[in-house]
């Protein structure tokens, strides 16, 4: 049942907070967002939006490099192989920051249009009898419901503290006045791989330090192998099984020392070693909100914390750290708090992309769960090197992989490694969400020639004539 006069205070104006605010306002609640650093949050101002804007420029540089093979010549500059192209760093970084500010202004306008009140400042939870309270400066706001969506911050290694000039976290990159000539990227997870890929394409000499055997250790192994192969082929130095112990300034550059004593030198060092929750000093423990041993707010699948009426969403909960997940957690919290019918968060259906070149997009179950026997599924992998459109466009790195239930034929997940895989994955997402079978996808028209043609072809390869009709049988 709707409760139109419910007062809701949201701590944090990132996607976990502002998407929740929009839903709650639509349902008639009185909504206040308290935000310390700008609407849109780190997502819009420092993390997701700026990095993808940088990637847009690096993609274009990649196209320039590949253009000579496609028969393009520049009249008096010789082959348009990208050799003569260079990046105007102040202009690039200026564009990144302006676009982030514009996106933040769009969020502010949407919230204002829905009647959401915004207070600039750092808020903290306080105990009150009967309801909840949030304190901002000298102001105390009473609330029936509080949503904590305070996000996270770059993790700092004790021996490698960013100085904002040579030793950097990803939020400091856009204040440089040049492209780093030699960049050492510490950490080969999603963030490290994305920046390593982007800067390599922009013309930086990149060294990527990976503590594991291969880059992107949490991702589909076949996809990680393709991306690491591309990295190395394009001249990146990838140091596997290498752990950084420290990073310090040395003259005009940086010296990174590995735990085995090796030294790696460059002009700049970018640290991408994870995110810690912004959950300290905001009254959570005092209010009885349970945190895990790393400080993430514990939530259930409808975003409830251990305290009735206090919900949490986004990176501060440590649940899959994606803007789309943060936004869904926030919306679910509001639907639940305001008595709407709500479906619990389904991480099995989250579509995600790693914006390397080529991109890696995934949805649904992963192959690790299939190999461990947790999920029974058939797997088909088609290399894009045989796809006609890929040949025309001049690339050969990548593949399409589909996972389907052997009994029902239901599509359980997939992986796409390709330029713009982030767009191609939607077909697989729809199949997973709508419980489509390989037969249904195989009977769907795709365009000829197209990369998505490989998706329907993979589905055709998974068709079997004598499949039983048992639609919900994917667990082993
Ligand atoms: C480099 C990078 C690239 C990424 N790219 C992608 C991507 O391509 N796609 C994707 O889906 N995800 C991406 N992510 C992840 C995504 O940015 C996060 O999952 C998302 O920002 C989480 O949203 P949030 O609302 O939890 O927190 P945030 O976006 O961090 O927002 C939290 C807000 O709360 C404010 N705040 C903190 N404490 C307080 C307080 N006490 N009072 C008031 N306000 C407070 C903060 O200042 C901030 O404005 C990326 C992350 C990184 C690091």
How far is 128 from 148, CA to CA, in rounded Å? 17
In degrees rounded to 5, what are phi and psi of residue 310? -110, 120
The strand pair at 244-250 and 139-143 is best described as unpaired
pLDDT band at 279 (very low <50, low <70, confident <90, very high): very high
pLDDT band at 82 (very low <50, low <70, confident <90, very high): low
| Amino acid 77: pLDDT | 55
Q: Is 461 exposed, middle or buried (0-12, 13-18, 19+ CB in 10 A)?
A: middle
- Does the CB atom of residue 123 touch ligand 1 within 6 A? yes
Q: Tell me the residue ranges of DSSP E strands in 308-440.
A: 310-312, 352-354, 359-364, 378-383, 399-404, 411-418
Probe residue for ligand 1, chosen from 141, 282, 323, 351 as the CB with the greatest number of ligand atoms within 8 Å: 323
How far is 313 from 6, CA to CA, in rounded Å? 19
User: Does residue 432 surpass a pLDDT of 50?
Assistant: yes
Question: Which of 156, 356, 353, 354 minimizes the C-alpha distance to 269?
Answer: 156
| Amino acid 474: pLDDT | 46
The 10s digit of each residue's pLDDT in 336-359 is: 999 999 999 999 999 999 999 999
Over its C-alpha atoms, the chain yields an Rg (Å, rounded) of 24
The 10s digit of each residue's pLDDT in 293-303 is: 999 999 999 99
| Amino acid 75: pLDDT | 65
The 10s digit of each residue's pLDDT in 220-232 is: 999 999 999 999 9
How far is 239 from 260, CA to CA, in rounded Å? 12
- State the CB neighbour count (10 A cutoff) for residue 281: 9
- Three-state DSSP state, 20: helix
Question: Furthest-apart CA pair in the chain: how many Å?
Answer: 77
Q: How far is the CA of 186 from the centre of ligand 1 (A)?
A: 21
Residue pair 421/359 in contact (Cβ under 8 Å)? The answer is yes
Residues comprising the chain, all counted: 476
- Does the CB atom of residue 180 touch ligand 1 within 6 A? no
| Amino acid 76: pLDDT | 61
- Three-state DSSP state, 302: coil
Give Cβ neighbours of residue 23 (< 8 Å, ≥ 6 apart).
330, 331, 334, 335
Probe residue for ligand 1, chosen from 11, 18, 34, 41 as the CB with the greatest number of ligand atoms within 8 Å: 41
Decide: pTM greater than 0.85: yes
């Amino acid at each position: 049942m709707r409760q139109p006069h419910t007062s809701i205070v949201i701590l944090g104006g990132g996607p976990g907070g502002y998407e929740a605010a929009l839903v709650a306002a639509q349902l008639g609640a009185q909504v206040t967002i308290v935000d310390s650093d700008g609407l849109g949050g780190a997502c819009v101002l420092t993390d997701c939006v700026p990095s993808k804007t940088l990637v847009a420029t690096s993609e274009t540089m990649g196209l320039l490099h590949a253009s000579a093979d496609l028969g393009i010549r520049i009249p008096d500059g010789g082959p348009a192989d990208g050799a003569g192209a260079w990046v105007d760093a102040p202009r690039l970084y200026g564009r990144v920051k302006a676009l982030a500010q514009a996106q933040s202004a769009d969020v502010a306008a949407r919230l204002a249009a829905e009647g959401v009140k915004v207070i600039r400042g750092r808020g903290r939870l306080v105990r009150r009898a009967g309801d909840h309270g949030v304190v901002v400066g000298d102001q105390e706001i009473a609330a029936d419901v509080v949503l904590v969506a305070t996000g996270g911050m770059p993790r700092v290694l004790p021996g490698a503290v960013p100085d904002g000039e040579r030793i950097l976290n990803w939020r400091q990159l856009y204040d440089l006045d040049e492209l780093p000539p030699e960049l050492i990227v510490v950490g080969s997870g999603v963030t490290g791989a994305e920046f390593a890929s982007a800067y390599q394409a922009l013309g930086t000499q990149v060294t990527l330090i990976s503590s594991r055997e291969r880059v992107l250790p949490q991702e589909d192994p076949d996809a990680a192998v393709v991306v690491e192969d591309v990295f190395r082929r394009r001249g990146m130095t990838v140091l596997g099984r290498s752990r950084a112990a420290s990073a310090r300034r040395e003259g005009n550059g940086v010296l990174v020392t590995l735990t085995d004593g090796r030294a790696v030198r460059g002009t700049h060092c970018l640290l991408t070693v994870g995110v810690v929750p912004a959950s300290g000093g905001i009254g959570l423990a005092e209010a009885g909100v349970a945190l895990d041993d790393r400080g993430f707010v514990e939530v259930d699948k409808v975003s409830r914390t251990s305290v009735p009426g206090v919900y949490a969403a986004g990176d501060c909960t440590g649940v899959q750290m994606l803007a789309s997940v943060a936004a869904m957690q926030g919306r679910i919290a509001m639907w639940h708090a305001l008595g709407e019918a709500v479906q619990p968060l389904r991480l099995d259906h989250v579509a995600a992309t790693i914006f390397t070149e080529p991109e890696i997009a995934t949805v649904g179950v992963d192959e690790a769960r299939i190999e461990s026997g947790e999920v029974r599924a058939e797997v088909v992998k088609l290399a894009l090197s045989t796809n006609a459109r890929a040949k025309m466009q001049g690339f050969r790195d990548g593949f399409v992989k589909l996972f389907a239930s052997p009994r029902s034929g239901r599509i359980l997940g997939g992986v796409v490694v390709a330029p713009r895989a982030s767009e191609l994955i939607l077909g697989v997402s729809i199949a997973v969400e709508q419980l489509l079978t390989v037969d249904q996808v195989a009977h769907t028209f795709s365009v000829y020639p197209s990369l998505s043609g490989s998706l329907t072809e993979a589905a055709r390869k998974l068709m079997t004539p004598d499949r039983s009709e048992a639609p919900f049988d994917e667990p082993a």
